[in-house]
Structure 1
């Protein structure tokens, strides 16, 4: 590797090799040094300042403050042949490497991938792997967008993970953060104008995408994305909070990235996908770049989570305030967004735009659990802390048989009871105190009641967030795991349930239009000719009449007590029944 670094305003840049210092040669705004071999430690000193890591470092074995190490991606000999996978309509599975196994490494996670194959998962989504301060954390405070956290095994371990996944028929999606860097170990401003105060984000100055020097910053970001596809052979990237990528350029950086990925996909001969996390409720993210959009393959649609969660739990504080009714659930099942230009109480403004007719529902990634919706609760409690198995089963059916691209969160398939809390391991006492204080203040309001927020810096907070895999073999978890497997298999087998046709989706209900607590009543999700019948609540049987034009329907899957009559189904308390066309549906 020829070490090169962009430092447009520097008078000198020195390559630091242990105790040796080598003056680097200037070429315009770039500086270069002698060739280094795989495994060599190095750093850069700008204008005789402290030695700093490479902004494009792939490997930080000494932590985010130490020197970088040369990583040659061609050292790995790929074992698997892989034609790629399109994530649209597939079943995704989000996991955090540090808490997925007791070892907390990519190699250990790879050893567990056969479990996901048995579940029926198509694509594993890894939470961010960029190096961050300390050994434990969520990864959204990473400071090296080109690197892999050493505690997880470093970059070679990621290649091993992807190779193993592909050998098992699983795709890999990597969560990446381009909208900010973490507060500890971020030395980019030493080298150039990577940030600007022209725009602000929740984390401070924005990444410089449209000011002086922004051309190189854009290349830096886009280059980091492309290398995951080329050097590590991942299949998709999930882009964190793209609404915080502030860019007034004629071509938005996301559109530029999309076109670059499309070109690489053509050259590689396999699908490559980009999935945007955005709360704008606007399909600009998935609109083709040729039509003025950002060209993403898909986007997260959190409104589906909010509608399910609020209806099942009765929670309506914070951003759940406009949800919690069957009408809200119907709206999102038919169009992904609740707010489509009307008033958002939580935001205190009009919000969003409608999803155009004909949009493929698979362009929206939805979940009933994910790292945000669990970990950003006061105690990191999962839905299993509030919902009985019947409601968990109902939630799974409505999610996995929806017209969207469903994503599961690690452990939900067996109704995991372990919390998944917010945890950090900052080495700076000042940062540690700040995160403790900030986290406690965030949940001090009346909406959360009297709760004790776990100390993010305590190792016990991290340890308690690890999955307890022994649960999966015990009742009632084993039954839940089989339910998830069956739902995934049914989605794959029945065309009506696999379809992303929003126009062929509807939701009806019998019961109250609103509730002051968890909603009780009957929901009927229609997916073409297929029907998903859900009984929420206890009490005597409730009958659901079947439409006369539905044709012959068979019970494909059921949870709880039910009876089938010629033109109706009687549901016991907590029952879920999936009816599919007797001929399997149209091909």
Structure 2
């Protein structure tokens, strides 16, 4: 088998239909490569083909065999495209056959992106057990809540058993302590049976430090650019073709072999690539081709901090074609509006006027001068639809990157929590909830790792201390290496037995049900929204409509009663949801019916949603 290009070669070990093992490796730095099949005590030499590629077909490797790669007869390393690392990132790789799984989701059709109600979760802390199997046990809870898409934080193999997942060093291997590849396949199958799409968080901007052996094989990194993690992944320097192929094939693997519905690509602004075809664009082209071949829909959602529509503009407009992006600026403006201090990267946000702008313009900064960044920043996103933006009141970053990892439940009253939820779920964008917020989880979500390298562990501790210098916070960050930090980040499912927490869950249920069934909220047409802001009173009135259906969302972020005048629309209005109602553990009464231009007296920290009669 002669290879003239890396483009269509999937790296790693796979079994063909006849059960023969086929292995492909890019290792241009090696002059001789062998596979050591450990328990069989045999070494199989690979054949060098072209462009630094090494291959073998053999019947001497079977499913379940442990193997290592031996470079130049002396250096033993795990497979850089291993599918299973049962002995951790430093141990041997395990041969598995992803084609063995018996899928039952043949008739599954991915939900249209504009209807996604996303729930972000971390496998290790979502349940007491911290496994994929334990997530399956909670799917009925998510179904009852109204969730139709879960987003799983990264599962690529990382050091130890405790990690957010962004320190992964084996992008093709599924974390063994979570249950490994077969259990992830089973989880996805179960989600589809429940009508729930699965988004997987992947990291293509860096490789973690511990267990990172990529440089022993080839030129995976380049010194052309500096990144927060050291040398950048090599997407545009000499030898980059194989690196680009490695990550493109990884994206396709999740869709093909795990039936993942969408990928959330972490911090794509940190990807350094000045190629004529950006790596994100190349991945999008490949995914579009897969969609065409299979008749399935797979989405790409980017985390991007550049306010640059090039990332989400379609290929036909020379964009990178990402289907959607996270929009942190909505979160920042929302949290400042709720009364949090404007420190660190919050310093750029003035509060409710910025929140009003984000409702209509998505980006708060679309050309203005940013004091935090010390430059003019962003472009306008007028031509991008609402379904291209994901908004939230909290997520893993915005919670866990606080020094103490406080959730909104630890920072705000139940009244403000209900208002924040309403602000997200009535926005003309894709809403995302962070695990546990639906019942006002009281445990923090803190940053945790389990590095075995003590010097690295200490460096992480020091890094966390420096990270919070701009926030002028007192005290010390919890030790990321501590088991206590990890355990304190787990959800307390028993809180749902408490009437107060159960009531919050029912409130979220009601909001999500309204979002899914009222056409004016379900439609994400950004041209059909008007926002009236009163900075002095800290109030917003959001008017949305779809054809003849109209809805008004009144929000009072102040702590006292405020007046909000209804617009002149020649309509009568009926209360749908009032967050301060006794039904939601409030003690306030408010009229059920209103007419045009009524001056509504809205209690502090509350939300009122009105529907036309």
Alignment TM-score > 0.5, same fold: yes
Where structure 2 has 5 or more consecutive residues not aligned to the other structure, the ranges are 1-20, 581-587
Matched, 1:6 2:26: yes
**Structure 2 partner of 1:399:** 424
User: Is the Cα contact below 8 Å between 2:22 and 2:55 reproduced in 1?
Assistant: yes
SS at match of 2:157: coil
Matched, 1:369 2:394: yes
**Structure 1 partner of 2:576:** 556
SS at match of 1:88: helix
**Structure 2 partner of 1:437:** 462
Deviations 1:551-578 (A, max 9, x none): 2322111211322444433323333211
SS at match of 1:321: helix
Q: CA deviation at 1:85?
A: 2.3
User: Is the Cα contact below 8 Å between 1:141 and 1:181 reproduced in 2?
Assistant: yes
Match of 2:231 among 200, 205, 212: 205
Matched, 1:476 2:496: no
Q: CA deviation at 1:80?
A: 2.7
Match of 1:413 among 429, 438, 442: 438
Q: CA deviation at 1:62?
A: 0.6
Matched, 1:128 2:154: yes
Match of 2:215 among 185, 189, 211: 189
SS at match of 2:465: helix
Q: CA deviation at 1:252?
A: 0.6
**Structure 1 partner of 2:130:** 104
Q: Count how many residue pairs are aligned between Structure 1 and Structure 2.
A: 572
Write the distance in 2 (CA, Å) between the matches of 1:319 and 1:476: 33
**Structure 1 partner of 2:512:** 488
Q: CA deviation at 1:83?
A: 1.6
Write the distance in 1 (CA, Å) between the matches of 2:390 and 2:46: 46
User: Is the Cα contact below 8 Å between 2:337 and 2:538 reproduced in 1?
Assistant: no
SS at match of 1:553: strand
Matched, 1:289 2:297: no
Match of 1:118 among 125, 129, 144: 144
User: Is the Cα contact below 8 Å between 1:61 and 1:150 reproduced in 2?
Assistant: yes
User: Is the Cα contact below 8 Å between 1:87 and 1:236 reproduced in 2?
Assistant: no
**Structure 2 partner of 1:459:** 483
Deviations 1:423-447 (A, max 9, x none): 00001111111111111222245x3
| Mapping for residues 148-297 of structure 1, pairs under 5 Å | 148-297=174-323
Match of 1:574 among 598, 602, 605: 605
Instruction: Please identify, of 311-320 and 544-553, the stretch whose mean Cα deviation from structure 2 is larger.
Output: 544-553
User: Is the Cα contact below 8 Å between 1:236 and 1:274 reproduced in 2?
Assistant: yes
Write the distance in 2 (CA, Å) between the matches of 1:167 and 1:454: 39
User: Is the Cα contact below 8 Å between 2:81 and 2:171 reproduced in 1?
Assistant: yes
Matched, 1:24 2:11: no
Write the distance in 2 (CA, Å) between the matches of 1:294 and 1:510: 38
TM-score, with normalisation over the residues of structure 2? 0.91
SS at match of 1:576: strand
| Mapping for residues 344-383 of structure 1, pairs under 5 Å | 344-356=370-382, 358-383=383-408
Deviations 1:512-565 (A, max 9, x none): 1xxxxxxx64321221221111223444x5443322215232211121132244
**Structure 2 partner of 1:515:** none
Deviations 1:103-154 (A, max 9, x none): 0001111111111111111110000000011110000000111110001000
Deviations 1:235-263 (A, max 9, x none): 00000111111111111111110010011
Write the distance in 2 (CA, Å) between the matches of 1:576 and 1:40: 59
Write the distance in 1 (CA, Å) between the matches of 2:86 and 2:362: 43
Write the distance in 2 (CA, Å) between the matches of 1:263 and 1:482: 42
Write the distance in 1 (CA, Å) between the matches of 2:271 and 2:114: 24
User: Is the Cα contact below 8 Å between 2:572 and 2:595 reproduced in 1?
Assistant: no
Instruction: Please identify, of 549-558 and 92-101, the stretch whose mean Cα deviation from structure 2 is larger.
Output: 549-558
Write the distance in 2 (CA, Å) between the matches of 1:350 and 1:547: 35
User: Is the Cα contact below 8 Å between 1:315 and 1:324 reproduced in 2?
Assistant: no
Match of 1:55 among 80, 94, 98: 80
Write the distance in 1 (CA, Å) between the matches of 2:315 and 2:70: 40
Deviations 1:315-369 (A, max 9, x none): 200111121421111111111111111111111111111112x421111011111
Instruction: Please identify, of 390-399 and 308-317, the stretch whose mean Cα deviation from structure 2 is larger.
Output: 308-317
**Structure 2 partner of 1:585:** none
Q: CA deviation at 1:511?
A: 5.0
Q: CA deviation at 1:187?
A: 0.8
Write the distance in 2 (CA, Å) between the matches of 1:476 and 1:523: 27
SS at match of 1:476: helix
Write the distance in 1 (CA, Å) between the matches of 2:331 and 2:494: 27
Q: CA deviation at 1:78?
A: 0.8
Deviations 1:1-41 (A, max 9, x none): 21221112321001111133222222222222324222111
**Structure 2 partner of 1:532:** 553
User: Is the Cα contact below 8 Å between 2:356 and 2:533 reproduced in 1?
Assistant: no
Instruction: Please identify, of 454-463 and 48-57, the stretch whose mean Cα deviation from structure 2 is larger.
Output: 48-57
Write the distance in 1 (CA, Å) between the matches of 2:479 and 2:147: 33
Matched, 1:330 2:356: yes
User: Is the Cα contact below 8 Å between 1:553 and 1:581 reproduced in 2?
Assistant: yes
Write the distance in 2 (CA, Å) between the matches of 1:319 and 1:472: 34
Decide whether aligned partners of structure 1 residues 437 and 578 sit closer, same or farther in structure 2, where only a CA change above 3 A counts: same
TM-score, with normalisation over the residues of structure 1? 0.95
Write the distance in 1 (CA, Å) between the matches of 2:141 and 2:74: 50
CA RMSD of aligned residues (A): 1.5
Where structure 1 has 5 or more consecutive residues not aligned to the other structure, the ranges are 513-519, 583-587
Write the distance in 2 (CA, Å) between the matches of 1:420 and 1:161: 23
Instruction: Please identify, of 114-123 and 470-479, the stretch whose mean Cα deviation from structure 2 is larger.
Output: 470-479
